[in-house]
Amino acid sequence: MSEAYRIDEGMEVTLHFTVKLEDGDVVDSTRDKAPATFQLGDGNLPPGFEAPLKGMGVGDEGAFSIDPEHAFGQHNPQNVQRLSRDAFEEAVEPGTVMSFADPAGGELPGVIASVDERHVEVDFNHPLAGRTLTFEVEIIDVRPATTH
């Protein structure tokens, strides 16, 4: 019989999860595929998603409401940029997700918010910013993390 580990810093956790919006729409889920495995504190989950898992063990289930401050932040109007329509080679439509180069040389996803004759408004907020999410979990395994 193995030790009954509880989720805490430095533990590797395997779980099934479902993330839902306020209206119950599912945003992401592992229920129809393999469970997710991560190390608590490794940055794969926002802290607001990790905190309620602490103390849970194998077989435990729970549903947690995660407010925007602990999930993907509030919607920030400063993250909405007006760009010249000339900067876009192809026709763009509201709702389209595009990748933009960021000043650090990486890539940043943006959602086309609106388009007129001269400007394209791009929202660089996380698509789930400002949303309260429900995080449902089923803990499959908890063990001390091993360094690979």
Could you give the domains of the chain?
11-72+128-144 (3.10.50.40), 77-123 (2.40.10.330)
Give the whole-angstrom CA distance, residue 62 versus residue 69.
20
Query: Quick check: helix, strand or coil at residue 45?
Result: coil
Average pLDDT over the chain, rounded to an integer: 92
Q: What CA–CA distances, in Å, run from 45 to 50, 65, 90?
A: 6, 15, 35
CA separation for the pair 28, 33 (Å, rounded) = 11
CA-derived radius of gyration, the chain: 19
Contact criterion met (CB below 8 Å) for 23 and 107:
no
pLDDT-derived band of residue 1, with 50, 70 and 90 as boundaries?
very low
Identify which has the larger pLDDT, 125 or 89. Answer: 125
Report d(CA 95, CA 65) in Å as an integer.
27
Q: Would you say residue 31 has pLDDT above 80?
A: yes
User: What does the pLDDT average to over 15-19?
Assistant: 97
